Amino acid sequence: MNKNNGCLGIIIGLFILALVIQILKLVFLNILGILGIVVAVIGICFAVTKNDSKFGLYWPIASIVSGLFLTFSWFIFREYLITLAFLSVFLFLYFLITTLTLAIRKSANWKKFSLLSTSLLVLMIIFISIAPDIDSNKSEVASSENNSNLSSTDKNTTTEKKTIETSNDKKDKVKQNDNKVETKKSESKNVAAVTTTPKKVQKKKSTKSSNRVPVTLTKTVDGDTIKVMYKGKEESVRYLLIDTPESKKPGSCVQPYAESAYNRNKQLVNSGKLTLEFEKSERDKYGRLLAYVFVDGKSVQETLLKEGYARVAYIYEPPYKYLSKYQKAEDIAKNKHSNIWSKSGLVTDKGFNGCATKATVAKKSNTTRKSIGNSSPKTNTTPPPTSGGTEFFANCTELRKKYPNGVPSTHPAYQPKMDRDKDGYACER
């Protein structure tokens, strides 16, 4: 009996401890809002006790109004600096009006209130100068809330999309000829809609572009990667939700249409003002920025997909903002058999098959020789495998000490567990 009571007491104690931790966590996360409530309650208590000071109810009212203003500001913005900035503005105006009123009445206390107003003015300027932009803060809060609400449905949507994709692949082969006619009609309707309603399109573009960050292009790496100046330093940007044939991956050949995708991407990103839009994870496992890329407000990803230079891929955290639009653009290229869709079996769920013809590779080498001049030809940076048996490395860090650029699946040191993206190349950078 005593043992049962002891176990029950431990369970109740752990439950109370967990409840206290949750309450403390809630208080800590909303400390300014709770502090405002405490200040307002103190003001109410002083007002009820009928303090007979020479200012009467002035300070209790100031306490109540300031506390309520602090609480509402916190739960509206949920950002410390923005909340304190608004509170300092309110208090500065409150005491400035008091100072002017006392000065008009020729009261001796107006000098004290003028010093207080000046101090609040300094605090107000400091908080406003270091506080983040309100619009960006609201968008971050909204996106985080949307992500938390949608995280519970991610698993269901991924399984549904897999079944839908398999069924759609079978239907596409049967309906290719019919879809050609339908896509032509839909394109003509879209052109007519754009020409008849330009004002609506402009409004939509203005709202979407508010979350986009202007950047400066420094280099086009390949069909789905560029380098830009972002926040004062050069960053690699990997295009969200698309994949183009590889042309510069160590240890692998140049894949069909890789050069065409690179040239088209280079043409697009150099044609106007470049902006980025982020969603969910800002970086991938290699430290590259993951972003939607726009030139003069037009999506580069959508253009590459529609013209058949890319496929929709890497759908890790659905739902995505532009996923359905990209899938429609990909369907247009499929129906037209454009570029990568002109050869059956070239595009797979894991990437692209085959290597480019020798003529294509020769063209590439000739163009690079012209641009480089008399420099020495580029050699393969991946060291040859050592002779005899397999090589074992505990992790990618140890493997890269010997093979800095990773190893292909045919290499003795290759291990499937080190090939996280399942592209047949382990520990690549």
pLDDT tens-digit map of 241-292: 999 998 877 777 889 999 999 999 999 999 999 999 998 788 988 899 999 9
Most confidently modeled of 92-101, 128-137, 363-372?
A: 92-101
If we measure between CA atoms, which residue out of 176, 156, 157 comes closest to residue 168?
A: 176
User: How confident is the model over 405-420, as a mean pLDDT?
Assistant: 83
Catalytic one of 79, 235, 238, 259: 238
Q: Is the pLDDT of residue 7 over 60?
A: yes
pLDDT at 192: 47
pLDDT computed for residue 414 by the predictor: 84
pLDDT at position 298 is 95
- What sign does the dihedral 28-34-39-44 (CA atoms) show? negative
For residue 3, what pLDDT is reported? 60
Strand partners, 351: 348
Give the pLDDT confidence score for residue 18 in this predicted structure: 86
Q: What is the mean pLDDT of residues 159-176?
A: 55
Q: How many residues does the chain have?
A: 429
What whole-number distance in Å separates Cα of residue 240 and Cα of residue 323?
A: 10
Which residue ranges make up each domain of the chain? 25-138, 192-361, 381-429
Catalytic residue selected from 246, 259, 277, 279 = 246
Contacts 24+ apart (CB under 8 A), 411-416: 411/385, 412/385, 412/386, 413/385
* 283 catalytic per annotation: no
pLDDT band of 374, cuts 50, 70, 90 = very low
The pLDDT assigned to 295 comes to 96
- Report the pLDDT averaged over residues 367-394: 51
pLDDT of amino acid 226: 95
What is the CATH class of 192-361? mainly beta
pLDDT band at 194 (very low <50, low <70, confident <90, very high): very low
- Tell me, yes or no, if 145 is annotated catalytic: no
Q: Is the pLDDT of residue 376 over 50?
A: no
Position 183 scores a pLDDT of 54
Residue 246 a catalytic site member: yes
Going by pLDDT thresholds of 50, 70 and 90, the confidence category of residue 70 is: confident
**Set 288, 317, 391, 400: catalytic member:** 288
- Give this prediction's pTM: 0.39
Average pLDDT of the chain is 77
Three-state DSSP class for residue 254: coil
pLDDT at 201: 44
pLDDT at 136 over 70: no
